[in-house]
Amino acid sequence: MKIAVIGGGAAGMFASAFASTKQGVQVDLFEKNEKLGKKIYITGKGRCNFTNVCDVKTFCENVVSNPKFVYGSLYKFTPNDVLNFFENNGLKYKVERGNRAFPLSDKASDVTKTLERVLNKNGVNIHLNTPVLSVEYQDNGVLLTTMSDIIHFDKVIIATGGLSYPTTGSTGDGHKWAKKLGLNTIDCVASLCELKTKQNFSSLAGISLKNVTLSAKLPKVKKQVELFGEMLFTHQGISGPIVLSMSAKVNRCHFPLDMNLDLKPALTDEQLNQRLLRDFSANSNKDIINYLPELLPSGMCKTVAKVAKIEENKKIHQITAVERQRLINALKQFPITVTGLADIEQAIVTAGGIDVKEINPATMQCKKFPNVYFAGEILDVDAMTGGFNLQIAFATGRLAGLSALETD
Ligand SMILES: Cc1cc2nc3c(=O)[nH]c(=O)nc-3n(C[C@H](O)[C@H](O)[C@H](O)COP(=O)(O)OP(=O)(O)OC[C@H]3O[C@@H](n4cnc5c(N)ncnc54)[C@H](O)[C@@H]3O)c2cc1C
C-alpha cells in the first residue's frame, strides 16, 4: 500500500510516523518548504509548548471549536502519551506553570529533530521543496500532482495547516482541494490574536498590565466572558495572554464589541471608594496626576484621568464626590471598543476549516471520499493557548496515520 501525506508540519509528521509502522506500507511525505516543521520552530516563542499535561476532560474544556470531535483522538493519544512518545524517542522535557510541556533544552528545533529522526528510522520518503499542486480523487485511490510528477497513491492524508503565518507554508492549499471535492468548509477567522480597538492607544503602546480582568458581553449567546490575567496595549489595540484568549471567544461576534477592563479587580467599588477616601485625605494637596501612579502604571495615568473627566492638575482636595465616582468607574470599567481581529496572517491559530461533519472522528477519514484523511489545523478545530493546538495536531495526525493503514 502507498500512502501520501501532504504537509510536513506537526500533524503531517505524526501521521507519517504512525502510517509507517506497518511492513509493506510505503509512506511519502510531501512538504513544500525546504525543511519540515517550519511553524514548530516559532511555537512557544521558540521553545515549543508541545502539549498540556491534563486529563482529556479538562483538555476538551480548552478546545473552542468542536471539542466533541477531537475527544476520541485525544482519548486514544493523551497528553501523557505525547510525553511518552517524545521521551521514548530521546527528547527530554519539562512541565512548567499551567501544565505546559516544553523540551528540556528550551529549543523548539529539538521537537522537529526528534520527529525527523522517527520518520527516517521508519523509512518515510521525505520530499522537501515539493509543493503538491492538486489532489484528484479516484475510486482506487488518489492522484497527486507535483511540479514534476503525477503520482498514484492508495490513500492521502491532507495536513496542510490553517491560514495563519503563511510564511511557514500554511497558505490554505488543502482548503482549496477540499472545496473542489465539494466538501463543506467553515469560514476561517483569526484566533489567539490581537484585538483592534476604536480608541487609539498609541500613547499606551507597550504598557503591560498584570492582574486585571477583561470582560465582554457576547450578544448572540447572551453570555458574559471574564478573563483575569495579563494584557498589554499596542499601536493597533490590545494584546497579551487574556486578549488572545478573548479573541478565541469573540472571533465569531459582530464588531464593534464593547469590553470593560477592570484595573482593580481585587477591590469592589465600595472598597475602592474607601481606599480613595483614605488616600485623598492623606494626599489632599497633591495634583491628582501625581497620586494616580499609586494605583496604576504611570504611563496610564493621563488616560485614566481623561476617561474620568478630571483635569490632571486638579488638587485632590478639590475633587468632588461625582468626580471620585467617575474615577472609580474609569478604574473598574475602563471602556474598550473592539473593532475587529488582527489579520489572520498574524493569528496564532485559524478558527474554521474543513467542516468536521465531513470527517469520521474515529478515523479522521473523509466520509464522502474514503481514501482521503484530514488532520491538524486544517480541520475546524481550534483551542486556547497552552500546548492544546499542537496536541490536537499530534493526536489527529496519529489517528489519521494509523487509520490509513487499515484496509477497508
Ligand atoms: C507564532 C505561533 C506560536 C504557536 N505556539 C504554539 C505553542 O506553543 N503550542 C501549541 O500547541 N500551538 C502553538 N501554535 C499553533 C500550532 O503551531 C499549530 O496549531 C500547529 O503547528 C498546526 O500544525 P499542522 O501540522 O496542522 O499545520 P502546519 O504546522 O501549518 O503545517 C502544515 C504544513 O503543510 C505544508 N504545506 C501546505 N500546503 C502544502 C502543499 N500544497 N504541498 C506540500 N506541503 C504543503 C506547509 O508548508 C506546512 O509545513 C503556535 C502558532 C504560531 C503561529
Count CB neighbours of 220 within 10 A: 8
pLDDT confidence band for 220 (50 / 70 / 90): confident
For 265, residues 6+ apart whose C-beta sits below 8 A from its C-beta are 211, 212, 213, 228
Cα separation values, 256 from 138, 221, 242, 337, 365, Å: 47, 16, 19, 6, 39
Average pLDDT over residues 340-350: 97
Average pLDDT over residues 114-137: 98
pTM here is 0.96
Cα(178)–Cα(183) distance, integer angstroms: 5
| Residue 219 pLDDT | 77
Q: Is 168 exposed, middle or buried (0-12, 13-18, 19+ CB in 10 A)?
A: middle
Query: The C-alpha cell of 102 is what?
Result: 516544553
Average pLDDT over residues 353-359: 98
Average pLDDT over residues 94-109: 98
Fold assignment, 194-341: Helicase, Ruva Protein; domain 3 (1.10.8)
pLDDT confidence band for 139 (50 / 70 / 90): confident
Average pLDDT over residues 62-81: 98
Query: The C-alpha cell of 148 is what?
Result: 514534476
Q: What is the pLDDT of residues 8-48, one digit of tens each?
A: 999 999 999 999 999 999 999 999 999 999 999 999 999 99
Q: What is the pLDDT of residues 304-328, one digit of tens each?
A: 999 999 999 999 999 999 999 999 9
Sign of CA dihedral 374, 375, 378, 380: positive
Average pLDDT over residues 98-113: 98
When the pLDDT of each residue in the chain is averaged and rounded to a whole number, the result is: 97
Identify the CA nearest to 330 among candidates 293, 298, 305.
305
Q: Residue 191 Cα, ligand 1 centroid: separation in angstroms? A: 14
Average pLDDT over residues 102-117: 98
Q: Are 292 and 316 in contact (CB under 8 A)?
A: no
Q: Are 155 and 371 in contact (CB under 8 A)?
A: yes
Average pLDDT over residues 386-398: 98
Cα separation values, 251 from 2, 218, 309, 349, Å: 40, 11, 32, 12
Query: Atom 38, ligand 1: which residue's CA is nearest?
Result: 160
User: Is the pLDDT confidence value at 256 over 70?
Assistant: yes
Cα separation values, 209 from 129, 203, 241, 305, Å: 43, 15, 11, 17
Q: What is the pLDDT of residues 45-69, one digit of tens each?
A: 999 999 999 999 999 999 999 999 9
Q: Are 164 and 347 in contact (CB under 8 A)?
A: yes
Q: Sort residue 197 into left (φ over 0), alpha (ψ -120 to 50) or beta.
A: beta
Ligand 1 site residues (CB inside 6 A) read: 6-12, 30-33, 38-39, 42-44, 48-49, 131-132, 159-161, 164-165, 168-170, 173, 348-349, 376-377, 387-390, 393
User: Is the pLDDT confidence value at 176 over 80?
Assistant: yes
| DSSP secondary structure letters along 97-141 | GGGEEEETT--HHHHHHHHHHHHHHTT-EEETT----EEEEETTE
Query: Atom 9, ligand 1: which residue's CA is nearest?
Result: 387
For 318-368, where are the E strands, in sequence order?
Answer: 334-341, 349-354, 359-360, 365-366
Q: Which atom of ligand 1 is nearest to the CA of 133?
A: 41
| Residue 253 pLDDT | 93
Domain residues of the chain, as ranges?
Answer: 2-185+354-405, 194-341
Counting ligand 1 atoms within 8 A of each CB, the residue from 13, 28, 43, 132 with the most, and so the one to mutate, is 43
User: Is the pLDDT confidence value at 175 over 70?
Assistant: yes
Output Rg (C-alpha) for the chain, integer angstroms.
25
Cα(212)–Cα(257) distance, integer angstroms: 19
| Residue 223 pLDDT | 83
Cα(280)–Cα(123) distance, integer angstroms: 74
Fold assignment, 2-185+354-405: FAD/NAD(P)-binding domain (3.50.50)
pLDDT confidence band for 222 (50 / 70 / 90): confident
Q: Which atom of ligand 1 is nearest to the CA of 387?
A: 11
- Angle at CA 236, nearest 5°, toward 235 and 239? 90
Going edge to edge, which strands form the sheet with 359-360?
A: 125-127, 26-30, 2-6, 155-158, 372-374, 365-366, 359-360
Q: Are 51 and 101 in contact (CB under 8 A)?
A: yes
Q: Which atom of ligand 1 is nearest to the CA of 168?
A: 47
Q: Residue 326 Cα, ligand 1 centroid: separation in angstroms? A: 47
User: Is the pLDDT confidence value at 173 over 90?
Assistant: yes
| Residue 408 pLDDT | 58
